[in-house]
Amino acid sequence: MTNPRRIILLGLDGATWDQLRPAVARGELPNLGRILERGAHGVLESTVPPTTPPAWSSSQTGVGPGRHGIFDFRATPHADPERRLVSLQQMKGLKLWQVLHRQHRTCGYLNVPVLYPPDPVDGYMISGMMTPGPDVEFTHPTELKAEIFRLFPDYVLDVDIPKYDAEFWEDAKIFLDDVEHATRRRIELFLHLLATRPCDFQMLVLEATDRVGHLFWKYLDPRDPLFHAPLAPRVRARYAEILRLIDDFLGELLARTERGYDLLLMSDHGFVGNDAYFNANWWLEREGLLAIRRDVAWKKRAFYRAWKAGESRAVRALVPKPIQRRLRHRIRRGRSSFLSDLETSLDFERTPVFYASIPCHGLFIRRRGPGAVGSDGEYAALRERLRRDLTELRHPDGGPLCDRVWDREELYEGPLLWTAPDLVFCCRNYAVVPRPLLGATELLMDLGAAPNGFHRPDGIFAAVGEGIEPRTLDRSSIVQIAPTVLARMGLPRPPG
């Protein structure tokens, strides 16, 4: 390319064409409509599983989790039995910003997951999700932090879903207000940085589409029975205002394509309705492959029974709303996407296998320590048993519970393959989500009273810029993002 351009890459976490195209057709997102008319667009396939940590990491490294090593918000137990929180330091391999630096190009990053602590770059890097809090150094250069809080004293680093309850309008409004506030400040800061610290490549991630999808997919998808629930129109109207805010921002970015910029749009995954939880560790406990420490087991079971009762339609109908809200707030105020007490609750001498987390979507077979699987033959036999048993699990409708079960070697390759879950599985196209909760008393917990949303593989990609012809693209992969950026900037792609 004779005249390489600057690039703006906007990530809409969890965005899906299933949601955005109808809004464009209704005339609600005119600037996104212009992007679709003027540029190339198509489905961007996520990682397996389609979850935040491996997906965003793959977008910036151009390789899969077997090479960059990020499978979860926490380290995999094969690499770190304590499963400490991952950081950018654990992401292996060349990153896009390192390649740009070697080619003497500047770059700026704002709110891209897993980029804490920020790397020194020729430009700026401001971390968001997974940053411990506003008191740590989350910017490079470090003085940028003071500039952010001077301009935007109410800037927030993340909107963490587990802290919110949204079953009543009063709480749903608090959540939606916080999502809009975070989105607005993120946009204002990015536009400020575009004006004051312009770079050859600049990237921003907005999380609104993901956060709202998790709590309110039931109100957004016309196929869901709760689309016509009393709360649904109010939530959709409020969410439409947030999407218009993002669309107005797209209009400002689109104008820059006339001034030497490419605009790329992507998501790390799509969304689908979630109607049940698969209590994976309860299943392993039933099979004699997992044990909870006796001193905590009764607490876990009591909590599960209380929580399940609170989610039932009968309790919701009988208990006054103020009491429900108060109890639900008490449960949620200490929750976080990144907390886990699994390591301190399991009796590992009687636990050769466990399900670690939703982002991993897989089973870990322990090979070290008390209670671990010894020989390679025992390991192979146990893995085959688990694969067979997962395949044979049935959904209440009579069909299989698990659509696919993979050995890790089928999904991943690279020097960090050994850190991956030994088995990865998908339940009902991710409509049933396996979770690590201890103390459950059943295989599946139906979410009929309060379903939510979860990820699906099909994300979005769109590109507008000089020489990019309007067309619908074939399916592409999230690992193609980094090499695509390099190609549009006229830079060679490094080996691997």
Q: What is the pLDDT along the chain (496 residues), one digit of tens a residue?
A: 445 689 999 999 999 999 999 999 999 999 999 999 999 999 999 999 999 999 999 999 999 999 999 999 999 999 999 999 999 999 999 999 999 999 999 999 999 999 999 999 999 999 999 999 999 999 999 999 999 999 999 999 999 888 888 888 999 999 999 999 999 999 999 999 999 999 999 999 999 999 999 999 999 999 998 999 999 999 999 999 999 999 999 999 999 998 889 999 999 999 999 989 999 999 999 999 999 999 998 888 887 776 666 665 555 655 565 655 565 556 555 555 567 889 899 999 999 999 999 999 999 999 999 999 989 999 999 999 999 999 999 999 999 999 999 999 999 999 999 999 999 999 999 999 999 999 999 999 888 666 789 999 999 999 999 999 999 999 999 999 999 999 999 999 988 7
The answer to whether the beta carbons of residues 210 and 13 sit under 8 Å apart is yes
Write out the H or E segment, with its range, that includes residue 351: none
Domain extent listing, the chain: 6-273+455-488, 276-292+335-446
DSSP character string of 43-68:
EEE--SS--HHHHHHHHHHSS-HHHH
- Report the C-alpha gap between 197 and 254 in whole angstroms: 19
Q: Are strands 432-435 and 276-279 parallel, antiparallel or unpaired?
A: parallel
Residues ≥6 apart with Cβ < 8 Å to 16: 267, 270, 271, 456, 458, 459, 460
Separation of alpha carbons 362 and 364, rounded Å:
7
Residues 266 and 9: beta-carbon distance below 8 Å: yes
- The residues, any chain, with a CB within 8 Å of residue 295's CB and separated by 6 or more, are none
Type of residue numbered 146: A
- For residue 289, the surrounding DSSP H or E stretch is none
**Rounded distance, CA 318 to CA 19, Å?**
35
Which of 275, 226, 257, 224 has the alpha carbon at shortest distance from 18? 224
Whole-angstrom distance between the N-terminal and C-terminal Cα of the chain?
22
Whether CATH 3.30.420.240 fits 6-273+455-488: no
CA-to-CA distance for 478 and 62, rounded, in angstroms? 8
Amino acid, single-letter form, for residue 489? M
Give me the long-range contacts of 379-387 (CB less than 8 A, separation at least 24): 382/352, 382/353, 383/407, 383/422, 383/423, 386/353, 386/422, 386/423, 387/423
Is the Cα dihedral 310, 315, 321, 326 positive or negative? negative
pLDDT of residue 1: 42
DSSP 132-144: --TTS--EESTTH
What CA–CA distances, in Å, run from 272 to 14, 395, 477? Answer: 10, 18, 19
pTM of the model: 0.93
Instruction: Output DSSP code: residue 201.
Output: E
